[in-house]
Structure 1
Amino acid sequence: MKDTVGATMAGDMAGNSEAKIAELEARLAEAEEELRLERERYHELRHRIRNDLQGLATLISAQSRRLDQPEGCAGCAMRLRSAAALHNALDEDGASDIRMDDYLWALSEARRKAFDDRIVGDLAADEDIHLDYRRAQCVGLVYVEAVTNAMKHAFPGGVEGQISAQLRRFGDDGLELTVVDSGVGFDPTRCQRGHGIELMRGIARQLRGELELRRLEAGTLVRLAFPAAAAA
């Protein structure tokens, strides 16, 4: 009798376990399907945002050709394209780190499309530099502001010139972004406000770094130095 009861209980327990496993598997399948749909919606949203930003940049660029001083519109177009480039730089699998050489190259292309070709661009970046979305955006904003300032102010009268940018590792745990133009240069002490300088200085503080502006014999140097590791 006891053996029969024990066998029955064991059978019931096995049946309950199988039912529980089947229930958990069904719930897991539902969760995986919901996650798949959410990823599809996320990628679709990113795609729409990129397209909207690119469309606005193209519209502004077209409008700038009708103006006597198109640099302002060109700068706005470049900022929009830089935002689109940041979305493009995000890994499709959802990884949060941005590969900075790809991102800065995309920003360089945004500069080329926003402004005329009389200014030659040159870019170099270490391949192993990856930053999280927020810090990558900060570095990109400094690059965009520095390049936009140079395009607007360093080459008056339609003269030709060059802008060189570099992102590299330096020291034990530091990163350095430099943007150098071959233009007329300016005195940083006389440009405390405007020209995006306050914005760049604020970004440097966010990165726990420092911003340097220096007039060269021919042109201007913008240097952003900051720790490679994010704040804990």
Structure 2
Amino acid sequence: MKAPLPPDESDRLKALHSFEILDTDPERQFDDVVQLASAVCGTPISLISLLDADRQWFKARVGTDDVETPIDQAICAHAILQEDFLEISDTTRDPATADNPLVTGEMHLRFYAGAVLRTSDGFPIGTLCVLDREPRELTPLQRDTLKVLARQVITQMELRQALRRAELMRREVDHRVKNSLQSVSALTRMQARYAVNQEVRVALDHVQRRIDTVAALHEQLYRAGKGGHVNLNEFTSNVWTLVGASAPTGVEMDIAVPQIEVEAATAAAIGVVMNEFASNAFKHAFPDGRRGAVSCRIDHDATSARMVLSDNGVGMKNKDGRASGLGLQVMEAAAQQLGGEFELDTGEGGTRIALRFDLAPEVETLHEEARLDGPADSAPA
């Protein structure tokens, strides 16, 4: 006998389809459940059965090669009309199953027990069921075990659904943040282009580089998807390229950074220091078209890293090692954010700063150190 439709069939099907699980590949965590259910209940067949409009589809199965059956053969369609459980000790004696082809045909099913898979919103979308070819009866412990395992199946499905929705929301937020940063950067660039005052133009260029640095960090976070960690080599290379687009003619940019993962806050502070140092070098270190180079090096051990930024320009007029300019103050503030030590050395051979900072315990060295070398005026804007 074909089971009647649940009174909320339309909403029930919407709930089922929202899990996006129908016709997916087998997965161990679900396969383990049916293996355990079959072992605990002593039955040759166990299924995670999901009831679609015209079929029952098996997410996991033991004891049968069938992946689905027509809905009019689904004993589980009778089970979902119950509150939480249906047991039929002898299917040949129950009116709901006596004429079922799975009972009268080659499958020769004689026993059925199913725990309803009910969502947190109350919709029955299927069952965790066990079947046998001999009449029998489950013990209270076996029934309770099936019910517990059924709740675990629903919990797993709903957790995946929540993670998928969270990922979709994250992507939407990332997309909007990216667009906003691009809009602000474009507006700043436009204002700098039409600014009459040279100091205003330089300030706007500086602001734009900072925005682009934040955008580069955001891009790394989006691509990484590792809980707030970014690849330091990729991030610093992007920052160096962005900063290098403003380098004077004849000033080369050089960088060597290991392939390690760092926290986003650490990467952001490093990006600020790189931006400020290079900007100061472009402005002060190479007067009158002087040629030179600006370099960034990062080395690390198991617990800490050391960044060295240097130029071979004319050096700062203030040689007492104190940060007198705004840029140096910003760099010192970033160093304090990292909880590291900040060193400054400047003279006729150029300016050099060194910054040591701790690495998170889970820092991962990905590959051997990668290098990016080349003239700044060849970098894309």
Same fold (TM > 0.5): yes
Residue 21 (structure 1) aligned to one of 149, 168, 192:
149
C-alpha distance in structure 2 between counterparts of 1:229 and 1:15, whole Å: 48
Aligned residue pairs total: 221
In the alignment, which of 284, 292, 296 is matched to residue 165 of structure 1? 296
Runs of 4+ in 1 over 6 A off after TM superposition: none
Which residues in structure 2 correspond to 1:150-229 (within 5 Å)? 150-157=281-288, 159-169=290-300, 173-186=303-316, 187-189=318-320, 192-229=323-360
Matched, 1:98 2:226: no
Which runs of no fewer than 5 residues in structure 2 stay unpaired? Answer: 1-135, 362-381
Q: Which has the higher helix share?
A: 1
Quote the Cα distance in structure 2 between the aligned partners of 1:228 and 1:109: 24
**Correspondence for 1:3:** none
Change (3 A) 1:120 1:137: same
Higher Cα radius of gyration: 2
Higher deviation after alignment, 27-36 or 161-170:
161-170
Going from structure 1 to structure 2, the CA distance change for 1:55 and 1:72 (only over 3 Å counts) comes to same
Which amino acid is the alignment partner of residue 151 of structure 1? Answer: F
Alpha-carbon distance change, 120 to 25 in structure 1, aligned in 2, over 3 angstroms: same
Percent sequence identity over aligned pairs: 25
- Compared CA separation, residues 175 and 116, structure 1 to 2 (3 A): closer
Q: Choose from 57, 76, 85 the match for 2:216.
A: 85
Match of 2:257 among 125, 135, 138: 125
Under a length normalisation based on structure 2, what TM-score does the superposition of the two structures give? 0.52
The residue aligned with 1:4 is none
Contact 1:71 1:152 in 2 (8 A): no
Task: Write the distance in 2 (CA, Å) between the matches of 1:116 and 1:145.
Answer: 13
2:69 aligned residue: none
RMSD of Structure 2 on Structure 1 (CA): 2.7
Aligned-pair CA distance for 1:18? 2.4
**Cα pair distance change 1:132/1:102, threshold 3 Å:** same
3-state SS of 2:272 partner? helix
Kindly indicate whether structure 1 or structure 2 has the higher relative contact order, using CA contacts under 8 Å at least 6 residues apart: 1
For the 8 Å contact 1:177–1:223, the answer to whether it is kept is yes
Change (3 A) 1:188 1:42: farther
Point out the structure with the larger strand share: 2
